[in-house]
């Protein structure tokens, strides 16, 4: 027999077993239709006297990614069972239900499996409860059943981190009963059902919660205090797990559901769900034909073996792609290779990778002084000196040696990619891949779209960026692209605030308290102040002299204070230390610049720091949208979360602006405009949205990147 219910679920009979397979591509998200279908078919199978056991499986690549996250924004549908009820049905059944897990089983899907009598998983399966990363707690018994299976400490580890574990680890900790190859899952599940015959059905809720010492909770609390940075979901999840150790299962389950429902509608969850979808939306590009075959990227070349080049090489090698790096001199090649080796050796010595992994990754990177070595690369990334003539020379050589199908990318952070592309033989294969330093660690890559590049080349690059575990966002060509252009606007206000009365530690603290990973001055010291100094010098001639300009950063650089690398920048650093110490010399410089400019210094509130820095930042983001340089507001959010340390739980600057109220943001922008003129030019889009009482997230604020019409 083979039937289907709303095509979300298929039922197969194997002798006296009923196999229910979730069928909701691409990830079998459990939505209302799937819950309804499951409820119906489960009840049917439970009533059917010819069925001894039920096996739950997933079609396609995954068991299931859990509850359909899109449904959380909608009101519940009357008459449709929720996951708790569905799991209750499974756990109360008089015949065993067995979960056969391959691919991902996360959130509600794992909770479904936890309610089953037995769980089998393939070694490649990935299991986890990622709910806290979406701003809520597991809502269908995860915090109550997991500790009963794996103990409190392991349950806390999984629930608070949201991390996924592989099948083998799940087997070792007791989360699954057996680990079997994916191809054998069904057969083994049937054998399991056979073996369970005649025995009472095993119910996870009846397992006692293993004892946990108070220190286990204290350690988890300390970790939350250190890392939550204003998020509320982790503490709520901890409280749920604690209740599992103190209350009856039913009471624990009731309180977990209460916490889940409260949090899922809250601002943290709204923001984190927005980011979840924005990250995926960012992968979609305009102009790509359906079913287009993308250029394959199997071998990567890098030009320049400095800090950026070696970071990029490591990023690809770590993901399994062979890399060849070219630099001008044997010394530069040796230095680069030594840097790659040292990075991997350090990772090995810290236990992050195995000895074998370390050797394999080092072996994937080779280097040469001859461009001919790049002949077989499918993608070459130029990471040479930031000078347009140098770039032209590199691309001319690449044009000569690379295969006609190779993609050529520049890692420039500030030069015009349209100009670089136009000087090559085939501009359709040239684009920017703007990695952030350190390139082997930072997740963001701005995929810079010159007007001439083909959509297939863009899509292939987005794909390879995803393969190396990073997040690519397509941006148009302009000074600073999206991220740095917004950073300039944000930083400018921070500098002006210094002239008016603040000092670097206050500005940094106010923005850290808001949730930024670091303040702008600390970040500058880390990145090195000379990079932006060089850009300012390049742009100096074009800067209208009547416009306000803060020279404090230039003066610091002239004093040789280039940041952490020189032991001094906006702060002082003890030898070998990265801890910033406020420096009276910097205070004196700030005060003297204030006096030179004729400012009467005043008390600056933290509120004003946040309002001005973010007001200018969001206004610049709105201008960028207006100019078609970012395709969607969510793309900007993703850029600022992954490249600039904007707090993820606030959803990115554009989401945060909308939640805080665009009229308030516009008021701040208009005030800055009144004082600073064109330096803060209010965005027409922002004015229009406020006038129409609309938000960035509403239709009409997105357009294809690069479309400046
Ligand atoms: N709900 C709705 N849509 C989902 C989804 C979910 N749980 N998980 C993934 N999707 C969508 C994505 O938005 C994307 O849609 P798109 O094609 O329209 O952009 C599509 O499925 C494919 O997703 P990915 O691009 O992420 O595919 P990958 O193959 O790279 O990754 C995955 C697959 C590992 C399953 C990843 O999608 C994932 O981690 N999903 C989220 C898992 C999760 O957080 N589950 C918890 C849900 S909350 C819950 O269950 C509450 C419960 O406690 C009551």
Annotate 445-474 with DSSP letters as a single string: EEEE--TT--HHHHHHHHHHHHHTT-EEEE
Confidence of residue 246 (pLDDT cuts 50, 70, 90): very high
pLDDT in tens, 507-557: 999 999 999 999 999 999 998 899 889 888 888 888 888 889 999 999 999
**Distance between CA atoms of residues 7 and 27, nearest Å:** 14
For residues 416-427, give the mean pLDDT. Answer: 94
Please say whether the beta carbons of 263 and 236 come within 8 A. yes
**What's the mean pLDDT when you consider all of the chain?**
94
Residue 99: asked if its preceding bond is cis (omega within 30°), the reply is no
Residue indicated by tokens 């863009």:
458
- The rounded Å distance from CA 124 to ligand 1 centre is 18
For residues 72-86, give the mean pLDDT. Answer: 92
CB atoms within 10 A of CB 197: 11
Nearest Cα to Cα of residue 608 among 483, 496, 487: 496
User: Which of 25, 27, 165 for mutating ligand 1's site (highest number of atoms within 8 Å of CB)?
Assistant: 27
**Distance between CA atoms of residues 474 and 59, nearest Å:** 32
Strand partners, 697: none
**Distance between CA atoms of residues 465 and 445, nearest Å:** 7
41, 91, 111, 279: the active-site residue: 111
Nearest Cα to Cα of residue 182 among 103, 249, 111: 103
91, 126, 131, 382: the active-site residue: 131
Please say whether the beta carbons of 520 and 580 come within 8 A. no
User: Parallel, antiparallel, or unpaired for β 407-410 and 379-382?
Assistant: parallel
- The rounded Å distance from CA 29 to ligand 1 centre is 7
Q: What is the DSSP letter of 4?
A: E
pLDDT at 707 over 60: no
Residue indicated by tokens 């806390």:
156
Distance of CA 452 to the CA centre of its chain: 29
Which pLDDT belongs to residue 75? 86
Which pLDDT belongs to residue 5? 46
User: In b/e form, how buried is each residue of 62-86, taking b as 16+ CB within 10 angstroms?
Assistant: bbbbbbbbebbeeeeeeeebbbbeb
- The rounded Å distance from CA 27 to ligand 1 centre is 6
For residues 666-680, give the mean pLDDT. Answer: 96
Please say whether the beta carbons of 122 and 185 come within 8 A. yes
Residue 26: asked if its preceding bond is cis (omega within 30°), the reply is yes
pLDDT at 4 over 50: no
The tokens describing 209, both together, are 């919660």
Q: CB burial class (10 A; 0-12, 13-18, 19+) of residue 399?
A: middle
**What does residue 431 show for φ and ψ, rounded to 5 degrees?**
-155, 180
pLDDT at 3 over 50: no
Which pLDDT belongs to residue 703? 55
pLDDT in tens, 448-505: 999 999 999 999 999 999 999 999 999 999 988 999 999 999 999 999 999 999 999 9
Strand partners, 67: 30
Please say whether the beta carbons of 640 and 279 come within 8 A. no
Residues 6 or more apart in contact with residue 196 via CB below 8 angstroms = 53, 96, 117, 118, 202
Task: Look at ligand 1, atom 29, and give the residue with the nearest C-alpha.
Answer: 27
pLDDT in tens, 583-593: 999 999 999 99
Q: What is the DSSP letter of 95?
A: S
Determine what percent of the chain falls in helix, strand and coil, rounding each to the nearest 5: 50, 10, 35
Sheet order of strands, 17-22 included: 2-5, 9-14, 17-22, 53-58, 97-101, 118-121, 178-179
Residue 129: asked if its preceding bond is cis (omega within 30°), the reply is no
Q: Is 131 a catalytic residue?
A: yes
415 to each of 32, 289, 411, 472, 626, how far by Cα in Å? Answer: 50, 30, 9, 19, 22
**Distance between CA atoms of residues 381 and 449, nearest Å:** 15
Task: Look at ligand 1, atom 54, and give the residue with the nearest C-alpha.
Answer: 139
Which pLDDT belongs to residue 6? 52
Nearest Cα to Cα of residue 447 among 434, 429, 460: 434
Q: Is 41 a catalytic residue?
A: no
Q: Within 13 A of 2's CA, how many CA atoms are on the CB side? A: 2
- The rounded Å distance from CA 59 to ligand 1 centre is 15
Sheet order of strands, 300-303 included: 365-368, 323-326, 300-303, 379-382, 407-410, 430-435, 444-448, 471-475
Q: Within 13 A of 321's CA, how many CA atoms are on the CB side? A: 26
Confidence of residue 699 (pLDDT cuts 50, 70, 90): low
Task: Look at ligand 1, atom 40, and give the residue with the nearest C-alpha.
Answer: 65
- The rounded Å distance from CA 28 to ligand 1 centre is 9
User: Which of 29, 31, 65 for mutating ligand 1's site (highest number of atoms within 8 Å of CB)?
Assistant: 65
Residue indicated by tokens 């966002």:
473
Distance of CA 405 to the CA centre of its chain: 31
């Amino acid at each position: 027999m083979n039937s289907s219910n709303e095509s979300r679920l298929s039922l197969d009979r194997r002798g006296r077993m009923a196999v229910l397979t979730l069928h909701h591509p691409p990830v079998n998200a459990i939505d209302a239709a799937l819950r309804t279908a499951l409820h119906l078919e489960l009840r049917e199978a439970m009533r059917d006297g010819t069925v001894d056991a039920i096996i739950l499986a997933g079609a396609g690549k995954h068991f299931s990614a859990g509850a359909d996250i899109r449904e959380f924004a909608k009101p519940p549908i009357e008459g449709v069972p929720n996951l708790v009820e569905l799991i209750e049905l499974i756990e109360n059944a008089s015949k065993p239900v067995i979960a056969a897990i391959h691919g991902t089983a996360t959130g509600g899907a794992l909770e479904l499996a936890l309610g089953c009598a037995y769980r089998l998983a393939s070694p490649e399966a990935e299991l986890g409860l990622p709910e806290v990363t979406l701003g809520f707690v597991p809502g269908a018994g995860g915090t109550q059943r997991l500790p009963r299976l794996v103990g409190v400490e392991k349950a806390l580890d999984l629930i608070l981190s949201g991390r996924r574990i592989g099948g083998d680890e799940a087997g070792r900790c007791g989360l699954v009963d057996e680990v079997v190859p994916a191809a054998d899952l069904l057969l083994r599940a049937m054998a399991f059902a056979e073996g369970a015959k005649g025995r009472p059905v095993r119910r996870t809720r009846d397992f006692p919660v293993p004892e946990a010492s108070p220190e286990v909770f204290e350690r988890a609390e300390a970790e939350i205090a250190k890392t939550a940075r204003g998020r509320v979901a982790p503490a709520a999840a901890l409280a749920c797990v604690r209740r599992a150790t103190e209350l009856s299962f039913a009471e624990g389950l009731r309180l977990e559901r209460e916490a889940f429902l409260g949090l899922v509608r809250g601002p943290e969850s709204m923001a984190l769900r927005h980011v979840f979808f924005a990250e995926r939306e960012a992968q979609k590009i305009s102009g790509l034909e359906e079913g287009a075959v993308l250029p394959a990227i199997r071998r990567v070349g890098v030009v320049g073996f400095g800090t950026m080049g070696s970071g990029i090489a490591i990023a690809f090698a770590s993901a399994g792609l062979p890399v060849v790096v070219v630099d001008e001199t044997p010394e530069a090649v040796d230095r680069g290779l030594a840097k790659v080796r040292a990075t991997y050796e350090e990772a090995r010595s810290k236990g992050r990778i195995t000895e074998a992994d370390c050797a394999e990754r080092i072996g994937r990177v080779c280097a040469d002084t001859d461009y001919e070595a790049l002949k077989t690369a499918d993608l070459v990334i130029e990471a040479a000196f930031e000078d347009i003539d140098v770039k032209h020379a590199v691309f001319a050589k690449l044009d000569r040696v690379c295969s006609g199908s190779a993609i050529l990318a520049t890692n420039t952070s500030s030069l015009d990619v349209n100009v670089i592309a136009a000087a090559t033989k085939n501009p359709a294969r040239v684009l920017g891949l703007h990695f952030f330093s350190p390139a082997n660690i930072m997740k963001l890559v701005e995929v810079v779209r010159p007007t001439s590049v083909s959509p297939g080349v863009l899509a292939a690059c987005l794909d390879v960026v995803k393969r190396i575990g990073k997040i690519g966002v397509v941006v148009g060509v302009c000074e600073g692209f999206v991220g740095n252009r917004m950073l300039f606007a944000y930083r400018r206000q921070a500098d002006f605030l210094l002239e008016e009365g603040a000092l670097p530690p206050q500005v940094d603290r106010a923005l850290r308290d808001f949730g930024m990973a670091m303040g702008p001055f600390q970040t500058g010291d880390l990145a090195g102040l000379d990079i932006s100094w060089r850009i300012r010098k390049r742009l100096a001639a074009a800067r209208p002299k009547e416009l306000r300009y803060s020279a404090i950063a230039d003066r610091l650089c002239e004093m040789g204070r280039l940041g952490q690398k020189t032991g001094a920048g906006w702060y002082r650093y003890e030898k070998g230390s990265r801890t910033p110490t406020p420096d009276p010399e910097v205070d004196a410089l700030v005060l003297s610049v204030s006096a030179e400019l004729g400012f009467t210094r005043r008390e600056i509130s933290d509120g004003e720091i946040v309002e001005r820095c973010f007001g200018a930042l969001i206004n610049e983001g709105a201008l960028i949208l207006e100019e078609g340089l970012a395709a969607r507001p969510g793309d900007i959010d993703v850029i600022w979360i992954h490249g600039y340390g904007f707090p993820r739980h606030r959803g990115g600057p554009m989401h945060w602006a909308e939640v805080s109220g665009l009229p308030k943001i516009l008021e701040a922008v208009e005030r800055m405009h009144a004082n600073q003129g064109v330096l803060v030019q209010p965005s027409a889009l922002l004015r229009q949205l406020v006038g129409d009482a609309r938000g960035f997230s509403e239709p009409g604020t997105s357009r294809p990147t690069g479309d400046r019409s």
